[in-house]
Amino acid sequence: MLSRLQAISVKVTDPFVSLSLVQASRSLQTSSQRLAPVPPLPDHGGKVRHGLIPEELFEFLYPKTGVTGPYMLGTGLIVYLLSKELYVINHETIYAICIGTIIVYGVKKYGATVAAFIDSINEEKVAKAQAAKDSHISFLTEAIENEKKEQWRVEGRGMLFDAKRNNVAMLLETNYRERQHMVTNEVKRRLDYQIALQHLNRRLQQEHMINWVEKNVISSITPQQEKESIAKCIADLKVLAKTTQAKAAA
Amino acid sequence: MTLSLFDQFLSPVVCWIPLVAIAITLPWILFPNPTTRWLNNRSLTSQNWFLSQATSQIFSPINPPGHKWALLLSSLLIFLATMNTAGLLPYTFTPTSQLSINMGLAGALWMGVVILGMRTQPTHSLGHLLPEGAPALLTPILVIIETISLFIRPIALGVRLTANLTAGHLLIQLTSTATLAMLTIMPVTAIFTGILLFLLALLEAAVALIQAYVFVLLLSLYLQENV
């Protein structure tokens, strides 16, 4: 009976009453009394037979009277009340039978539907909270994935820097080579200039010498010599002309 | 025989202890406070759902200042519905079948609504005494008629509930007495009377809930006029 009381006490959720009853039942246990966390509601109420009589009565009477004991007790009670006219059959009895039938029929027919509807109200509440929790969890999981991807990207940054470093080194190398090339060209140009200058000098010297020699030779030629050479040349020319004519006639 | 028919309407007393107090405080026991739990058991969930539905239904056409009456009217609805339906059980006493309780509730609440209207917006409240679109010649007569109808309201409210429940209970008593009396003499007729009793019981169950709703609905209408 105390367990049924406890079950009722948890079902009757008036805080003051339920707390006091829960504390009262807890005094039989050895654990320390705690107010929080709130003990969970039992999933089902106390078991009843025929909708009215708690199962504990049947279990209480079973050892002494067997399975039919409580039924015999009930029948005996009803027969006693009726026979002794402690309960008088009047018009209210007829009405009681009527309304009893209506209530039992209503509960049997619509009980499950109504219970399912009420459970669905609670389940909707839970589903909403669960959906919010799930969406938050999925959002956080996605954020973790994104973070991991970013970390992987950061690893690739080293390769990027290496490539850039290579680029810069190549640019420097190219620049150095270019300048070296330029230096070589400039030096060569200056040396070419010097060579040209020397060539020019030598040529000038040669020409000057040739001119001086020619001038001296020409000035050393006397007029008599000149006449003799001219006469010789004419004689040679005549001879040549004769030979040529002879060759042509032959 | 005639006296015993009205015995059910006597205020029940056992050893000079008036049991009407227990009968009136019954709804307080059946409807526990909302708990600190997030998910409640089935009865609390259904009560909360029903109450929120009913309150939103009744108060949606009323202006926001009238929403202060939500607690009063919703608890009145629960009170009346519980007492009416509990009175359907055999051997119970229905407090709302007594004129004293119904007139007490109706008179006090009606007067509260009217005084509220007269104090906050007297012109608007008095304007209800002349319906719109009435021809100018009929104004004096209409005002008198409307005033009479205004003052009849509390009587109508209280007596409606009393009469419905009393009549229903009396009919049930009569029919069940007839069934019992004819059960030995003319069983077939008793069966027909029994079927009539079934239908009556169903009707009474409906009437119990409807009358409670009508009481609260009319009060909300009077509130709508005056707030």
* Residue A55: pLDDT over 80: yes
Mean pLDDT value across chain A = 87
* Residue A10: pLDDT over 80: no
Q: Do A192 and A80 have their domain in common?
A: no
In this prediction, residue A243 carries a pLDDT of 94
ipTM surpasses cut 0.90: no
Tell me if chain B has a CB within 8 Å of the CB of A125. Answer: yes
Nearest to B45 among A11, A93, A118 (CB): A118
How far is the alpha carbon of B197 from chain A, nearest alpha carbon, in Å?
A: 7
Domain residue limits at B198: 19-226
| A39 in a structural domain | no
pLDDT grade for A33, boundaries at 50, 70 and 90: low
| B57 in a structural domain | yes
How far is the alpha carbon of B96 from chain A, nearest alpha carbon, in Å?
A: 20
Q: What is the SS3 assignment for A53?
A: strand
Q: Do A98 and A213 have their domain in common?
A: yes
| B3 in a structural domain | no
Q: Do A185 and A98 have their domain in common?
A: yes
Question: Which token pair is A164?
Answer: 């850039």
Q: Do A162 and A197 have their domain in common?
A: yes
| B13 in a structural domain | no
In this prediction, residue B114 carries a pLDDT of 94
In this prediction, residue A14 carries a pLDDT of 55
A141 versus A5: which is more confidently predicted? A141
Domain residue limits at A70: 47-88
Indicate the length of chain A as a whole number: 250
Domain count of chain B?
1
| B4 in a structural domain | no
Domain count of chain A?
2
| A239 in a structural domain | no
| B12 in a structural domain | no
Q: Do A61 and A121 have their domain in common?
A: no
Question: Does the pTM exceed 0.80?
Answer: no
Residue showing tokens 């008088």? A88
**φ, ψ for residue B36 (rounded to 5)?**
-85, 0
Q: Which are the contacts of B175, defined by CB distance < 8 A and separation ≥ 6?
A: B193, B196, B197, B200
Q: Do A100 and A160 have their domain in common?
A: yes
Mutation to test the B interface, candidates A11, A95, A99, most B Cβ within 10 Å = A95
Please, what's the b/e burial string for B182-195 (b: 16 or more CB within 10 A of its CB; e: otherwise)?
A: bbeeeeeebeebbe
| B59 in a structural domain | yes
Question: Which token pair is B222?
Answer: 């009077």
One digit per residue, the tens of pLDDT, for chain B of length 227 reads: 445 778 888 888 888 888 888 889 888 889 988 788 888 888 899 999 999 999 999 999 999 999 999 999 999 999 999 999 999 999 889 999 999 999 999 999 999 999 999 999 999 998 888 888 888 888 889 999 999 999 999 999 999 999 999 999 999 999 999 999 999 999 999 999 999 999 999 999 999 999 999 999 999 999 998 98
How far is the alpha carbon of B40 from chain A, nearest alpha carbon, in Å?
A: 8
**φ, ψ for residue A216 (rounded to 5)?**
-65, -40
Among A46-50, A130-134, A176-180, the minimum mean pLDDT is found in: A46-50
Cα–Cα distance, A119 to B9 (Å, whole number): 40
Q: What is the SS3 assignment for A156?
A: helix
Q: Do A99 and A68 have their domain in common?
A: no
Mean pLDDT (whole number) for A68-72: 93
Mutual orientation of helices B187-226 and B42-59 as an angle, nearest 10°?
50
* Residue A26: pLDDT over 80: no
Amino acid letter for position B97: S
Cα–Cα distance, B18 to B90 (Å, whole number): 19
Q: Do A210 and A153 have their domain in common?
A: yes
Q: Do A150 and A109 have their domain in common?
A: yes
Mean pLDDT (whole number) for A88-117: 93
In this prediction, residue A18 carries a pLDDT of 53
* Residue A233: pLDDT over 70: yes
Q: Say how many CA atoms lie within 13 Å of B21 toward its Cβ.
A: 5
Mean pLDDT (whole number) for A34-45: 75
| A79 in a structural domain | yes
| A183 in a structural domain | yes
pLDDT grade for A6, boundaries at 50, 70 and 90: low
Q: Do A76 and A176 have their domain in common?
A: no
Cα–Cα distance, A249 to A246 (Å, whole number): 5
Query: Cβ B33–A95 below 8 Å, yes or no?
Result: no
In this prediction, residue A224 carries a pLDDT of 83
Q: Do A69 and A144 have their domain in common?
A: no
Residues of A in contact with B27 (CB under 8 A): none
Structure confidence by residue, pLDDT tens digits, A167-197: 999 999 999 999 999 999 999 999 999 999 9
Cα–Cα distance, B166 to B204 (Å, whole number): 11
In this prediction, residue B2 carries a pLDDT of 46
Cα–Cα distance, B125 to B115 (Å, whole number): 10
| A63 in a structural domain | yes
Q: Do A75 and A183 have their domain in common?
A: no
| A188 in a structural domain | yes
In this prediction, residue A231 carries a pLDDT of 93
**φ, ψ for residue B138 (rounded to 5)?**
-85, 0
Q: Is the Cβ–Cβ distance between B74 and B57 less than 8 Å? A: no
Residue A213's alpha-carbon distances to A29, A206, A208, A218, A225, in angstroms, are 148, 10, 9, 8, 18
